[in-house]
Copies of this chain bind each other. A is one copy, B any other.
Amino acid sequence: MNDKLNKSIVSRDTNFAEWYTSIITKADLVDYSGTKGSIIIRPYGYAIWENIVSVLDKQFKSMGIENIQMPMFIPESLLNIEKDHVEGFAPEVAWVTHGGDEELEERLCIRPTSETLFCEHFKKIVKSYRDLPILYNQWCTIVRWEKTTRPFLRGREILWQEGHTLHTTREEAIEMTLKMFKVYEDFQRDYLALPVIVGEKTEKEKFAGAEKTFTVEAMMYDGVALQNGTSHFFGDHFAKCFGIEFLNRDNKLETPFQTSWGVSTRMMGAIIMTHSDDRGLVLPPKIAPIKVVIIPIGKDNDEVNVALKQVSKQLEDLNITYKIDDSDRSPGFKFAEAEVKGYPIRLEIGPRGLENGTVTLVRRDTLEKEDVILEKAGHFVEVRLVNIQINLYERAKKRRDSMLYFAESYEEMKKINETKPGFIKINWCGDVQCENKIKDEIGIKSRCIPLDDHEPTGKCAVCGKEGKCQVYFGKQY
C-alpha cells in the first residue's frame, strides 16, 4: 500500500494539535483564508455540515419550530439593553463603523448571538396568549472576535443555529429548554456517535443573562472537553428588560418566559477529535457525505466492470451514497486516500476476488478486511455501516469512561490533573469561591453538574463544607 499520504499525518499521540490540523487539511475539510481567524469550509467539510443541518432541521420542524432570518447587525444601543449580556459579549464583538465612505451615526456589532434582536421582534409581534408559544430557529453565521482561533473549535465566524422561544409559563419554558437539550444529546449520540456528558452549568459558567444553562460536554481523544451545545432558560429576565408582555386569558398583562439553544460547526471538530486516527478522518456513517468508495482494480477488465455496475446498482437500490474512484492513480494511492478522507467503507473489486465471486470490504473504523459475496455486497455494506456507527460510539465511550475520575480531596484533584487527562468529578459545596480556587490554582473550569448521578456523596473537596452536588471539572477547547 502506498501510504505516503497517511504518513503525512502527524501522530495524534505525539502532537494532538498538529494531528488535528493535518486531518482537517489533508481530508480537504478546511482551507485557511487570508482573513485571519476565518476559515474556508471546503465542499467535503461543508457536505458533512449540510447533513447535520438536514437532520436537525427536520427534527426542529417536526416539533413545530419555524425558521426565521434576523439581521446580522445589532445597533450598539440594542446590545446594551441587558447588562449581563452586553458585559458577556461586548469584549468580543466585531464593530462596523463605516458604510462606504461615511462614518455611521451609531456603530453596529455583528451578531455574536441574537437574543437582543429576537426580543425586539417579540415585543412587536406578541400581543395575546394566543400568539404563544413562539418557537423560532435561525441558521446563520455569528461573529466572535476571538484572539486565538482553531478551525471548527474556536473561530471568528461560526456557522450555527440559534433557537429562541417564548412561553406563557415558567414551567413550559423550562420544559422547552430541557426538550431541546435532549434533542442535542440524542443527535450527538445517535448521529455523531459522541458519548456526551449532559448537565447544568454552574452559576459562574452559565450564559450571560440566563437563569439556567444546560450543556452537552463532549470529551475529545486527548481528554479535553468541548462544549458542544447549550440550552438556556432565561426566566422572564430578558422579556422584562425588553418590555415584552402579553394579555392573558383574563385580559391582564403578563410577562412571558423565554429560552434559547444552539449548536454549531464546533460539532465538526468534536467528530474529528473523537473518532479519527493516525491514518486520517473517521466519520460516523450517518453523517458521512459518501458512505462507500468503490475502487475497481484493473479498470479495463470486463469482469471488473460488470461487477462494478452490479455493486453500484445494489447500493443505489439501498439508497447508500457511494463514489467510484476510477482515476488513473494506483490502487495503493486510492486506498490511502480513502482512509484519509474517512469514507466509512471501501470496496475493492478486482479480478482475483471475482474468481471466487467476492469483493473486498474494508471498514474504516477498524481497518478490518473481509471478502464478501458479490451478489450480497450491498447487504454487507448496509450491515457494516450499522456496525461502524455502533462501534464508533462504543469505542469512544470506553475511552471516555477510562478518563473520568473522582477526587475525594483537593490534593487528589490536583494530582490527577497533573498526571492524567480527562474530567475530574468532585463533591462541591456550591460556593463560587471553591470553583474559582480550582480555576486559579489548578487551571481547570467546571464542566457541568451532571443530570444523573449528581447527588453529593461527601463533603466539598475544596473547603470541606457540606457537599451540595457533584460537579465535573476539566480543561476545555
Cβ–Cβ contact B99 & A96, under 8 A: no
Q: Tell me if A70 counts as interface (CB < 8 A to partner B).
A: yes
Q: Tell me if A72 counts as interface (CB < 8 A to partner B).
A: yes
Out of B47, B100, B108, which one reaches A35, CB within 8 Å?
B108
25 A–B pairs (Cβ distance < 8 Å), ordered by A = A31-B125, A33-B70, A33-B117, A34-B78, A35-B73, A35-B108, A38-B73, A40-B68, A40-B69, A40-B117, A41-B68, A43-B68, A47-B67, A72-B141, A72-B143, A72-B157, A73-B156, A73-B157, A91-B101, A92-B100, A93-B99, A93-B100, A96-B96, A97-B98, A140-B141
Q: Tell me if A405 counts as interface (CB < 8 A to partner B).
A: no
A164 to chain B, nearest CB (A): 12
- A124→B117 CA distance, assembly (Å): 38
Interface residues of A (CB under 8 A from B): 31, 33-35, 38-43, 46-47, 49-50, 66-75, 78, 90-101, 107-108, 110, 117, 120-121, 124-125, 136, 140-141, 143, 145, 156-157, 159
- A50→B68 CA distance, assembly (Å): 10
Cβ–Cβ contact B90 & A94, under 8 A: no
- A41→B110 CA distance, assembly (Å): 18
Contacts A31-B121, A43-B66, A66-B43; is A38 near B92 (CB within 8 Å)?
no
Out of B49, B101, B145, which one reaches A100, CB within 8 Å?
B145
CB-CB nearest in chain B for A104: B94
Which of chain B's residues have a CB closer than 8 A to the CB of A107? 98
A455 to chain B, nearest CB (A): 41
Contacts A31-B125, A73-B157; is A99 near B67 (CB within 8 Å)?
no
A75 to chain B, nearest CB (A): 6
Which of chain B's residues have a CB closer than 8 A to the CB of A156? 73, 99
Nearest first, the 9 A-B pairs at minimum CB distance are: A38-B71, A99-B145, A43-B66, A41-B69, A95-B98, A35-B71, A97-B97, A35-B73, A91-B100
Which of chain B's residues have a CB closer than 8 A to the CB of A70? 33, 40
- A195→B411 CA distance, assembly (Å): 77
Q: Which of A50, A70, A78 has the most CB of B within 10 A?
A: A70
Cβ–Cβ contact A71 & B121, under 8 A: no
Cβ–Cβ contact A75 & B34, under 8 A: yes
Out of B31, B43, B95, which one reaches A96, CB within 8 Å?
B95
Out of B47, B49, B92, B99, which one reaches A94, CB within 8 Å?
B99
Contacts A94-B98, A121-B31; is A71 near B136 (CB within 8 Å)?
no
Which of chain B's residues have a CB closer than 8 A to the CB of A33? 70-71, 117, 120-121
Which of chain B's residues have a CB closer than 8 A to the CB of A40? 68-71, 117, 121
Contacts A68-B46, A99-B94, A99-B145; is A35 near B74 (CB within 8 Å)?
yes
Contacts A40-B68, A72-B141, A157-B71; is A110 near B92 (CB within 8 Å)?
no
Which of chain B's residues have a CB closer than 8 A to the CB of A108? 35, 94
- A141→B78 CA distance, assembly (Å): 22
Cβ–Cβ contact A31 & B98, under 8 A: no
CB-CB nearest in chain B for A136: B43
Cβ–Cβ contact A50 & B31, under 8 A: no
Beyond the given A35-B108, A40-B70, A99-B156, could you list 14 further A-B residue pairs with CB under 8 A, ordered by the A residue number? Answer: A31-B124, A33-B71, A33-B121, A35-B75, A35-B78, A38-B71, A38-B72, A40-B68, A43-B136, A46-B66, A73-B157, A94-B96, A94-B108, A96-B110
- A125→B78 CA distance, assembly (Å): 42
Cβ–Cβ contact B100 & A90, under 8 A: yes
CB-CB nearest in chain B for A49: B69
